[in-house]
Amino acid sequence: MPLLGFHQARRAPLSRWQRTVQALSWPRPGGMLLSAAGAAVVLAAAVGVQSAYPFQSTTAAPAQRSPEPAAVAGNGPASGAPPVLPTAAAGLAAHAGTPPSSIPGGAPTTAAPVPPVASGPQAAAVHNMSNPASVLVLVNKHHPLNPLDYQPPDLVTPNVPAGPGELVLLRREAAAAVERMFAAAGSNGVSITVQSSYRSYATQVSLYGSYVAQKGQESADTSSARPGYSEHQTGLALDIGDANVGADCEFTICVEETAAGRWVAAHAADYGFVVRYPPGLQAVTGYLYEPWHLRYVGTAAALDMRARGIPTYEQYLGLQGAPGYK
Ligand SMILES: [Zn+2]
C-alpha cells in the first residue's frame, strides 16, 4: 500500500473497527456518551489523586501577646521591642532567607508543611528535639522537658567570670564551649560574665510557686516560666552580662548595646550558641527579645542557622510558633 500523504486525494477504505469508532465518535450521540464517561473517569482520578496527598493546610493560631518573663524565674525581665506577629509564612520565608521583618504579620495564615530534611545538622536537630539528653533538645511553651523534672547528668562549673554569688553550672559540652567563647571574646578585649545558668526543676517549682501565691497563676505566667518549661533546666542555657557595664544593664535590652552583647550576636554561633530569643519573634519563641540569653545547640546547628539566616530554633525545626502555654 502506497504511503498516503497529508493531502491524500482519496480515502483509504475503513476497516470494520474504524467504522465502529467513527460511528461512536463526536458529534454523534454515542460519541457524547463516550465523552461523558471519559470526563467522569478523569474527574474521579483527579479526586483520587488529591485525596492521596496528605498535605493539609493548617491555619496558624492567631498570635497573641505573651507573658513577659522575669529575670529571676523565666528568662530575664522583658523589655524593649514591641511584639511583631510572625506567621507561619515568616518561618518559611526565613528558610528562604527572607528577613522575617519583611513579613506582614497578624492575620491567620495558611501554613504549608516544611519538607523534611533527609540529612545534615537540621535533620539531626529534628531527630533529637524531644530528647532531653541531647544538646539539640527543644524547650519552649509548647514543648516542656520530658520528664518534666529532667536533670542533666553532667553539670560542671566552667572556669569563667560570673556575677556576684552566681554558681555557674552547665553541661560539660556547653561548659567547655563557654570557656572557649569567653576566652576568644577576652582576646578581643570583651569581658563577658555569666549572670545565670542551670536552674533545677525544684528551683523553678519554688520560684513559680511563689509567683502564683502572690499574684495568681495567670499573672505568674507573665513573669515566671513554669517548671519543666525553662531552657535553663537543660543545663545548656546561660544569661550573659558585660563585666564593664553596671548592674543596671543586666537582663535588660541594653545588653544588646554592650560590647559583650554585640560580640555574642556576631560570634556565638562559632562556639555553638544561638541568641535564642531574637527581636520581634515573640510569637515564635514565646519570649520578647533577650540579647543576654544564649542557648548551646552545638556548632553544626548554630552555624547552619546563621549561614541560612534562620533566626529561631523553632523555625529551624520547621515548627509553628509557641507564643503561650497550650
Ligand atoms: Zn535566660
pLDDT in tens, the chain (326 residues): 444 444 433 445 566 665 555 555 544 444 444 444 444 544 454 444 343 333 333 333 333 333 333 333 344 433 333 333 333 333 333 333 333 333 333 333 344 455 556 689 999 999 999 999 999 999 999 999 999 999 999 999 999 999 999 999 999 999 999 999 999 999 999 999 999 999 999 999 998 999 999 999 887 876 678 999 999 999 999 999 999 998 999 999 999 999 999 999 999 999 999 999 999 999 999 999 999 999 999 999 999 999 999 999 999 999 999 999 98
Distance of alpha carbon 204 from alpha carbon 208, whole angstroms = 6
- The per-residue pLDDT for 12 is 52
Give the pLDDT score at 119. 83
Around ion ligand 1, which residues have CB less than 5 A away? 75, 239, 293
Is residue 273 within 8 Å of 296, Cβ to Cβ?
A: yes
CA distance 265 to 185: 12
* Cα 33 to ligand 1 centroid, rounded to whole Å: 71
- At residue 223, the pLDDT reads 63
How far, in Å, is the centroid of ligand 1 from the Cα of 179? 18
Q: Of the residues 231, 256, 290, 314, which is catalytic?
A: 290
pLDDT score of 99: 34
Structure confidence at residue 104 (pLDDT): 36
Grid cell 482519496 in the structure block, residue: 10
Q: Cα of 293 to ligand 1 centre, how many Å?
A: 4
296 CA from centroid of ligand 1 (Å): 12
Q: What residues contact residue 204 under an 8 Å CB cut-off, 6+ apart? A: 73, 225, 226, 227, 228, 230, 232, 233
Find the 230 Cα to ligand 1 centroid distance in Å.
Answer: 8
The H-assigned helical ranges of 164-236 are: 172-187, 201-215, 217-220
- Give me the numbers of helices (H) and strands (E) for the chain, helices first please: 11, 8
Q: Mark whether 290 is an active-site residue.
A: yes
- Domains of the chain in start order, with CATH, are 73-93+144-316 (3.30.1380.10)
* Sequence-distant (≥ 6) Cβ neighbours of residue 139 within 8 angstroms: 145, 229, 230, 231, 233, 234
Residue 200: what pLDDT? 97
Instruction: Return the pLDDT at 136.
Output: 98
What does the pLDDT read at residue 143?
Answer: 97
CA of 290 to the centre of ligand 1 (A): 8
Predicted local confidence at residue 102, as pLDDT: 34
- Nearest CA among 72, 27, 13, 75 for reference residue 288: 75
